[in-house]
Amino acid sequence: MRTTLAAAAAALLLVASVWALDGDIGMHDPSTIVRDGSRYYVYATGAGLPVSVSDDGWTWKRAGSVMASMPGGMPGSAVVARGGNNTWAPDVMKVGDKYFLYYSAPGTQPRSAIGLLVGKTLDPLSPDYGWTDAGPVVWSDGVEDSNAIDPGIFHDPTNGSLWLTYGSYFGYIRLVELDPQSGLRRDPHRTPINVAINAEASIVIFREGWYYLLLTHGSCCAGTNSTYSIRMGRARKVGGPYLDRSGVDMLQGGGSLFLGSSGRSVGPGHFGLLDLGDGVQKFSCHFEADLDRGGTSVLDIRPLLWRDGWPVAGDNVAAGTYRLESVRTGTALELAVEGVPVGGPRAGGRRGGGPGRGGASSGRGDATPPSPIAAQDAAQMAANWPAGPLDARLAPYLLQAQQKWSLTPVANAGGYPGSPYFRISVAGTDRSLAATGDGEIAVTPTFTGAPEQLWRIDQLADGSYRLMPKAVPGRSASMALSAIGGSSPTLEPFDAGTDRHRWLLRMP
């Protein structure tokens, strides 16, 4: 975090410096992130299944291990008998009033088992905390075309049925139906459905009539040489067939790329859906190697977008200078000061030619090409702006200084799933966007770090953004930046159904 903040402060960046989460995020094979009460929880591979917890989804810390509450600190004997006593790659989901935690218990692969633990809460400090061993759910005997590790749980919203996918390279990714009451197999004698091959870390999600199988191809555990990538296919039925974007069946090795290595992060795997409601979806994964953390394996959370019926991996907001454009109006947020045309006011008179008019010639009748017009920035203009708090407003974007905003992550101010809070300031100045006590917005002359000056910026499913102050003075409910008028911004409770609350972050 410190490194990335330093980089962000180094310049008004136009480059996409995206950083991983803050805190103790070193982990491998993370589960789906689940919120219980006011906290987020994630479980991962390791001795006793390590638990990590976060109050805000940005800063994480270790919170012991699952098996610490189990007799002997290890999987139950029936699970060990079918597989082994390792504890890898769990997944967790709340079904009804119970949490089902499935975990891998491999012996010598592909002999392995997936065990089930049942609990009432994820909070280790709760008096109701504790896990009950429900035994093995599925297993592989070491010879068959399956390696029963890497569970992924899916609760079908269309009918309430519960499903488990599992498998890792030795043969197939398999699907079995579970009993939502017990978490065990609904029909243990039914043959598992093969849905993919030569992959691991599978999980199913659903959207608008399609079942999507997300899984991981490539090799893990080789640091910066890990070839892990997250792949996808979709089907009209939960049992498949799952075809990738090219129509290749995932049972025959298909799988379109969802997320590969990029930036400072190598080898993503173990997709998990984090649905925050209000149309805001994110996904979790781990990267095999984070170059900013010495190539260690880390948890990450990124926006989940949808395009043409397929999931798309978004990027968390990068520090830089942007124009903030309303999806509804097409106008851009600006400090409410009298703008000056770039290049200075034009001379009156005829069309074409002249400074700022973009004429095809110099207007002097010779062949001299027009001179470039320098960009306008706050250093040129800010001395003429009134002091003190000013309004913000919307206007056609004209490349003017008061229309360019610097987005800068704020250290030690907390965050939200995937990102720290941001400061939004007129580029090159300390003038910062802030919520006001009457539920409106203003531009304060300085940045103090107050909650009303800290902004949460979530990318939405269509790629646009929601901007929300961390707090609105005197109000308990959260509010989002709204283009309520073509020239007028305000704050309103977020409504995913209106373009008023959607913004584009564009290069200035």
Partner 1 sequence: MMRRALVAAIVVGAALRVTFAAQGVPVTPTIVSPKTATRPAGANGFLQRWLILEPIAVSGQLADSAVRATVSHQYFADQFTAVPKDGDAVTVDGQPLRWHAVDTTNYNVNLFHFAAGLKKPTSNVLFWAVTLVRVPHDIVDARLAIGSNAASVWWLNGREAVSLFNDRQTVIDDGVSKRVTLKKGVNVVRAAIVNAGGATDFCARLLDANARPITGITIDLASTP
Catalog residues that contact partner 1 under the rule CB under 8 A.
337-338, 395, 438-440, 484-488, 490, 492, 500
- Torsion angle in degrees (nearest 10) through CA of 226, 232, 237, 243: -110
- Return the beta strands (E) in 380-421 as ranges: 390-395, 405-409, 415-416, 419-420
Give min distance, CB of 338 to partner 1, in A: 4
Give the nearer residue to partner 1 in terms of CB position, either 428 or 439.
439
List b or e across 107-129, with b for residues whose CB sees 16 or more CB atoms inside 10 angstroms. Answer: bebbbbbbbbbbbbbbbbeeeee
- Return the beta strands (E) in 404-459 as ranges: 405-409, 415-416, 419-420, 422-426, 432-435, 441-444, 455-459
Residue 190 amino acid letter: R
Give min distance, CB of 490 to partner 1, in A: 7
Give the nearer residue to partner 1 in terms of CB position, either 275 or 338.
338
3-state secondary structure of 141: strand
Give min distance, CB of 333 to partner 1, in A: 14
Give the nearer residue to partner 1 in terms of CB position, either 157 or 330.
330
Give the nearer residue to partner 1 in terms of CB position, either 241 or 485.
485
CA distances from 21 to 62, 316, 374 (A): 14, 11, 38
Give the nearer residue to partner 1 in terms of CB position, either 123 or 492.
492
Nearest partner of 105 among 69, 79, 77, judged by Cα: 79
Give the nearer residue to partner 1 in terms of CB position, either 395 or 504.
395
Give the nearer residue to partner 1 in terms of CB position, either 231 or 501.
501
Give the nearer residue to partner 1 in terms of CB position, either 386 or 449.
386
Give min distance, CB of 438 to partner 1, in A: 6
Give the C-alpha separation, 484 to 499, whole Å: 10
Give min distance, CB of 340 to partner 1, in A: 9
3-state secondary structure of 17: coil
Q: Which residues make beta-bridge pairs with 480?
A: 492
Give the nearer residue to partner 1 in terms of CB position, either 398 or 471.
398
What the block records as the tokens of 291 is 């170059």
Residue 377 neighbours by CB under 8 Å, 6+ apart: 401, 404, 427, 428
Give min distance, CB of 206 to partner 1, in A: 31
Give min distance, CB of 488 to partner 1, in A: 4
Give min distance, CB of 9 to partner 1, in A: 33
Give the C-alpha separation, 230 to 285, whole Å: 9
Give the nearer residue to partner 1 in terms of CB position, either 24 or 278.
278
Give the C-alpha separation, 164 to 309, whole Å: 23
Are 183 and 161 spatial neighbours (Cβ–Cβ below 8 Å)?
A: no
Give the nearer residue to partner 1 in terms of CB position, either 425 or 490.
490
Give min distance, CB of 462 to partner 1, in A: 21
Are 57 and 284 spatial neighbours (Cβ–Cβ below 8 Å)?
A: no
Give min distance, CB of 487 to partner 1, in A: 5
CA distances from 403 to 272, 317, 427, 442, 469 (A): 38, 19, 8, 14, 19
Burial class of residue 35, CB neighbours in 10 A (0-12, 13-18, 19+) = middle
275: enclosing H helix or E strand: strand 265-277
Radius of gyration for the alpha carbons in the chain, expressed in angstroms and rounded: 26
Give min distance, CB of 405 to partner 1, in A: 20
